[in-house]
Amino acid sequence: MSKKIALLGSTGSIGTQALDVVRAHHQEYEIVALTAGRNIDLLAQQIIEFEPRMAVLQKREDADHLKRILPPNKTLITYGEN
């Protein structure tokens, strides 16, 4: 059974390094949620690769933009602190 991970700050330096570990041990870990501040393009790439259940950005307009640039998928895109 894989360990489920919600990664806060997935587009930052520590977040991208954490995803490198997940890539190397993909059978042991499942990314279920990703969050990012404003790096929409990198977050889009991460969503395509890891297929999390949820992705969260700080601002509504960034979440709306992310929804427009992503191909159809099952990831819930949302925004805000909650």
pLDDT on residue 62? 97
- Residue 56 reports pLDDT greater than 80: yes
pLDDT on residue 58? 95
Sheet strand arrangement including 29-35? 3-7, 29-35, 54-57, 76-79
Report field, pTM of the whole predicted structure over 0.85 = yes
**Residue written as token pair 């790096």:** 39
The 10s digit of each residue's pLDDT in 14-41 is: 999 999 999 999 999 999 999 999 899 9
- DSSP string of 45-60? HHHHHH--SEEEESSH
